[in-house]
Structure formats: C-alpha cells, structure tokens
C-alpha cells in the first residue's frame, strides 16, 4: 500500500493511525533504510522520495520496519506479505504538478511548505524517484518471487 494504503494496512492489522508531527510534502532525500531490507537493496542511504502526507501510524505487532526519516519513524514496513510505503515512488512530473495545481492555495497557508519550490525541484529529483521506483519494483518481484 502506498501512503494512505500503508496507513490502512497498519490499521487493519492492529496499528494506530494518527496525525504526525508535521506535514511532509515535496521531495525529500532523508529516508534511511533499516538493516537487512531486501526491498531497498541497491538504494542510496538516505534515499530520495516524494512525500505527500501529514499522518503516520504505529506498526502492527509483528511488522518489520524497513525505512524511517527524521520526523517519521515508520516510512516503510512489511507485515507478512503486505508492504506499506508512506511515501510516493510512483509519481511523475504530471502527477506532482496536478496535485500542486489542486492544492496550491491550501499549501501556501503552511509556512514550511513552498509549492513553487516543489515545482522547481521536479526536474532535479523526478528521475531519481523514478529510478528508485524501478529498483523497488525489481526488488519486490525478487523478494516475493513474482
């Protein structure tokens, strides 16, 4: 599950979902991979993702934390055959611009989020995020023998 999907997986298996310490919206190069995570094999550590969330969750009992960041301990996890990613690797330029187009007025009210900066960061970061997505997909297929 991606973003809300990760929260739903966590909640379904007994985790608690709640508001996080601050919204994360934009490109971040701060995700740290937990030791031994084959799903993130070959990733830089830390690695770059696109965030669009303000909520977080506690891991269900038995879940394995796969990645964390400064403000959010649970950025990625695995629970049996379910995988939750709080961040977005699936985005492309059009998606980021569309999300910004539809929310720019609201985002401008959050002092530490700059929609113009996020737009200007697209060219520098989108190819990195796409590469991370491709790497994750290949690792996922390998990990689950698909």
Q: Which residues are catalytic?
A: 3, 88, 90
CA 71/CA 121 separation, integer angstroms: 21
Write down the residue that tokens 């695995």 correspond to. 78
Tell me the DSSP string of 84-142.
EESSBSS--HHHHHHHHHHHHHHHTTSTT--HHHHHHHHHHHHHHHHHHHHHHHHHHHH
Please answer whether residues 6 and 88 qualify as being in contact, where contact means their C-beta atoms are separated by less than 8 angstroms: no
């Amino acid at each position: 599950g991606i973003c809300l999907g990760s929260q739903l997986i966590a909640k379904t298996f007994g985790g608690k979902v709640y508001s996080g310490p601050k919204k994360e919206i934009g490109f971040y190069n701060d995700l740290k991979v937990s030791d031994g995570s084959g799903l993130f094999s070959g990733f830089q550590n830390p690695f770059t993702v696109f965030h669009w969330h303000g909520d977080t969750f506690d891991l269900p009992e038995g879940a394995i934390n796969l990645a964390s960041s400064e403000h959010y301990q649970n950025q990625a996890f695995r629970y049996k055959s379910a995988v939750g990613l709080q961040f977005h690797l699936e985005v492309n330029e059009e998606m980021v611009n569309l999300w910004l187009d539809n929310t720019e007025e609201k985002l401008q009210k959050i002092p530490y989020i700059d929609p113009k900066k996020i737009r200007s960061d697209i060219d520098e970061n989108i190819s990195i995020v796409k590469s991370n997505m491709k790497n994750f997909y290949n690792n996922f297929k390998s990990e689950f023998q698909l």
